[in-house]
Amino acid sequence: MKNSSRFFVLIMLFSQVAFSQKLPELKIEPPFWYANMPTEKLQISIYGKDISSWRASIDALGITLVNQTIGDSPNYLFLNLEISPDVAAGSFNLTLHKKKKALPIQFELRQRPSDSNRNQGFTSEDVIYLLMPDRFANGNPDNDTVEGMLEPARRDDPSGRHGGDIQGVLEQLDYIKELGMTAVWLTPVFENDQTPEYKAYHGYAATDMYKIDRRFGSNEEFVAFVEVCHAKGLKVIMDMIHNHIGDQHWWMKDLPFKNWVHDQSVYGNTSYRGPVASDPYASKHDKDRLIKGWFVDEMPDLDQRNETLADYLIQNTLWWIEYSGVDGIRMDTYVYPYKEYMARWAKEVIEAYPNFNIVGESWVETVAHESYWQEDRAGENDGYNSYLPSVTDFQIHFAVRDGFNSNFGWESGLMKLYYALSQDRLYSDPMKNVIFLDNHDIGRIFSTLGENPDHLKMAYTFLLTTRGIPQVYYGTELAFKQGTQGGDGDKRAEMPGGWEGDERSVFTASGRTEAENDMFDYVKKITNWRKTSEAIHHGKLLHFVPESNSYVFFRYTDNERVMVIMNMNDEPLTISRQKHIEMLRGYSEGHNAITDEKVDISKDFTVAGKTTTVLTLK
């Protein structure tokens, strides 16, 4: 009996092995998970030929298979599990059954990292440095063009892939830190294996959401990058996209569900009219076109109403947060997907990681449209709560752009800054807004401001002293100009010195021009000074209606007071003590944050023309 039992077991093992060899390779997502996660839910996606005809079982204490879902394609099986908080790290056995056949799979639950400097979030104490890895620095030329991937490196094409990578950014972290930046935001580094014609160097057309693009590096290199940033006192913000994917995503060859993406033949491309999403009078036609239309032809639009897809996307986010240790997320095209899904996503992410932060890209036209997307605000209008802590404050960009390019008047010039900020009551917390002069989608701010170095310095100082979380686009510190060839490549120039063979390196003082060093030193001075000011980090804001082509505002706490004076005139301007006495009473001296000079403010005093003067009051 013992011999026959042994023979039966050997036959079963042999049949399982033989059968498994006939199966195509299974794609399992996530590739692993963690024990003791802040959520007990786990969705395992299994992709393989005719896998939907199989059924799973799990034999593991504390792990329950809640249900199994099959899609419209026969090649997907989705398993929904509950994992008890008591389950220890290790592997558990998951077995797929079909008639008398069995296919064992070991799934790993890793130990959660215990480092205290992970998932820190970002706040108004930070200054975020936004860069595009492909255009910043090329640390590993060997991965510029990868065999088997569709798009090679083409440095001669302003809109092509140039070869910058994670290693290149890693090698220049000291440059970023010298500037005074405290956080680094990388545009997406997910695999974007798109055709050469599309040019997906920017990263916004994901073809695999669990992989770093091999031309940027590997998953392991990204994790190591985050760890080095943390060791240097820099936070990391990851860019994500849940509105769309790339048309070369592996899903598109075999969609799990027919409604996984919207039908472009029905809805066409989006209108890009973000205000429609919060418009109480919007037509169904306009809503459908915004939400269901594709961003461009190469970006299939996801339908997050599919519950399995929604679970997949949320879980992918949690996986990256836990796996990499990143401190925040910037969510692309936040107003384009279904807002109910985006609220669920934001809520579940923040509940899982309370110290984390998220900023949503809300590129809309007015303060009212912008404020709709911040948590705990829009419910006063239609009952919607986004649960989104931070929005990209395009209104500050618009105000700077228009204010510096118009003469001072009732509704123009520096009044633009005043009008934008005077509507802050519409936000639940404007201090959480991410503010910026430009970014990778907007013309270079130096050119926008007429390529006037004084104007750039004035605008930059305003950005770093007003309320909110400043974001600085790479190259601003060097007064990068807008290109002239047309297209997005004009906004996304390389950093000279980031590539082997470059004639000079802007990463060193000796490699920069005199004008570049002048701007670099200015940015470095005011950005590092900002680190020392509690009033700028967390203080209240009080401002005065602009007069005489100037704008004065204060940032203050009980223990510190900072006076900021924007003088757009070519000539010096006398500042009245009496006009500002409510904030100057009790103070007789100011310390100039830029020049380190002492200023007597016990009486009327003078500030230079074409400057933003910052005085710490004493």
Q: Tell me, what amino acid is at 66?
A: V
Question: 408 — phi, psi (to 5°)?
Answer: -65, 130
Catalytic residues: 332, 361
CA distances from 278 to 11, 17, 275, 340, 436 (A): 64, 56, 6, 12, 23
Q: Tell me, what amino acid is at 142?
A: D
Widest CA span in the chain: 106
Question: 538 — phi, psi (to 5°)?
Answer: -135, 0
Q: What is the mean pLDDT of residues 367-379?
A: 90
pLDDT at 486: 83
> Does residue 370 contact residue 394 with C-beta atoms inside 8 Å?
yes
> Does residue 434 contact residue 469 with C-beta atoms inside 8 Å?
yes
Provide the pLDDT confidence category of residue 52 given band limits of 50, 70 and 90.
very high
- The answer to which of 24-38, 262-276, 338-352 has the lowest mean pLDDT is 24-38
- The answer to which of 129-143, 304-318, 482-496 has the lowest mean pLDDT is 482-496
Cβ of 12: how many Cβ atoms within 10 Å? 13
Q: Tell me, what amino acid is at 310?
A: A
Residue 14 has pLDDT above 80, yes or no: no
Residue 7 has pLDDT above 60, yes or no: no
Q: What is the mean pLDDT of residues 573-578?
A: 98
Instruction: Kindly report, residue by residue over 382-437, the tens digit of the pLDDT.
Output: 899 999 999 999 999 999 999 999 999 999 999 999 999 999 999 999 999 999 99
pLDDT at 5: 37
Nearest to 32 by CA among 308, 237, 320: 320
Residue 443 to residue 617: CA distance in whole angstroms: 36
Residue 176 to residue 191: CA distance in whole angstroms: 25
Strand partners, 605: 575
pLDDT at 485: 85
The token duo for 408 is 């001072």
Q: What is the mean pLDDT of residues 357-362?
A: 98
Return mean pLDDT, the chain.
95
The structure's pTM equals 0.95
Which DSSP string corresponds to 124-144?
TT--EEEE-HHHH--S-GGGS
> Does residue 251 contact residue 260 with C-beta atoms inside 8 Å?
yes
Q: Is the dihedral of CA 155, 159, 163, 165 positive or negative?
A: positive
Burial grade of 76 (CB within 10 A; 0-12, 13-18, 19 or more): buried
Instruction: Kindly report, residue by residue over 494-509, the tens digit of the pLDDT.
Output: 999 999 999 999 999 9
pLDDT at 13: 37
pLDDT at 618: 87
High-pLDDT (> 70) share of the chain, %: 95
Contacts of 501 (CB under 8 A, 6+ apart): none
pLDDT at 378: 63
Give the pairing of strands 183-186 and 55-58. unpaired
